[in-house]
């Protein structure tokens, strides 16, 4: 039996991760004694903070290792809501917070919740390539908007407005951006918000996974 031919049509639409494949090739070269600057995966080079190590050890020693609610531990959800409220001057309740096992897992689940066949998800580029495959996996189409150097690799209100159609289900905003490093200012986000306020059926996926390594002078 040819296993690949018997897989679902859904999975056949998905291409292997470019970053993971680049990482595999880089590690193979390093293993063979070739000096390589591996810039593929965004893996942190610093050691795990002692406070995190100690908390994990303490949890194991206290047998705090059982299943939690699918939404995550209440204490953690409250801490996340508090952090966002302090940082962005918002008023999130912990009931609005869900916890997942990493950004890729959360985005994958989100695409499964949002995407229907014939939906379009607006994806400004340059971007993290896994967005494309997650969207395609669930039958939707990534609507690619190329954001050139003239716009500092960022989506503008004009570009966004021009690309919204009746099929638009969501728009992805990533700041600080992977891979360009561009950061949206508060004013730029406000301009995008004005466009999206006219389309209250469009979801906003705001990926701010790198916000804690941005310059303190940056708004977002």
Mean pLDDT on 182-189: 95
Which is nearest to 99 in space by CA: 117, 81, 112? Answer: 81
Structure tokens at 139: 């039958």
**pLDDT-derived band at 1, boundaries 50, 70, 90:** low
Q: What is the pLDDT of residues 63-121, one digit of tens each?
A: 999 999 999 999 999 999 999 999 889 999 999 999 998 889 999 999 999 999 999 99
Q: How far apart are CA 149 and CA 7, in angstroms?
A: 40
**pLDDT-derived band at 30, boundaries 50, 70, 90:** very high
pLDDT in the model for residue 165: 97
Q: Which helix (H) or strand (E) holds 9?
A: helix 9-12
**pLDDT-derived band at 40, boundaries 50, 70, 90:** confident
Q: How far apart are CA 134 and CA 104, in angstroms?
A: 9
Q: How far apart are CA 119 and CA 91, in angstroms?
A: 31
In the chain, the percentage of residues whose pLDDT exceeds 90 is 75
Q: How far apart are CA 205 and CA 115, in angstroms?
A: 13
Q: How far apart are CA 135 and CA 114, in angstroms?
A: 9
**pLDDT-derived band at 215, boundaries 50, 70, 90:** low
Could you tell me if 171 and 120 are in contact, meaning their C-beta atoms sit under 8 angstroms apart? Answer: no
Q: Is 182 exposed, middle or buried (CB count within 10 Å of its CB: 0-12, 13-18, 19+)?
A: buried
């Amino acid at each position: 039996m040819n296993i690949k031919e018997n897989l679902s049509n859904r999975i056949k639409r998905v291409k292997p991760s470019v970053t993971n494949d680049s990482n595999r090739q880089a590690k193979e070269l390093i293993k063979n004694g070739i000096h390589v600057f591996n810039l593929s995966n965004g893996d942190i080079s610093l050691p795990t903070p002692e406070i995190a190590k100690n908390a994990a050890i303490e949890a194991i020693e206290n047998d705090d290792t059982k299943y939690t609610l699918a939404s995550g531990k209440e204490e953690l959800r409250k801490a996340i809501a508090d952090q966002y409220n302090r940082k962005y001057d918002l008023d999130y309740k912990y009931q609005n917070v869900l916890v997942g096992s990493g950004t890729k897992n959360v985005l994958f689940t989100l695409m499964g919740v949002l995407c229907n066949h014939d939906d379009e998800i607006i994806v400004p580029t340059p971007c993290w390539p896994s967005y494309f495959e997650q969207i395609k996996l669930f039958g939707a189409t990534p609507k690619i908007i190329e954001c050139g150097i003239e716009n500092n690799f960022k989506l503008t209100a004009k570009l966004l407005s021009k690309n919204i159609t009746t099929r638009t289900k969501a728009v992805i905003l990533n700041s600080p951006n992977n891979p360009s490093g561009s950061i949206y200012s508060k004013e730029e986000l406000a301009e995008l918000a004005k466009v999206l306020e006219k389309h209250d059926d469009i979801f906003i996926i705001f990926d701010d996974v790198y916000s804690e390594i941005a310059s303190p002078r940056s708004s977002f």
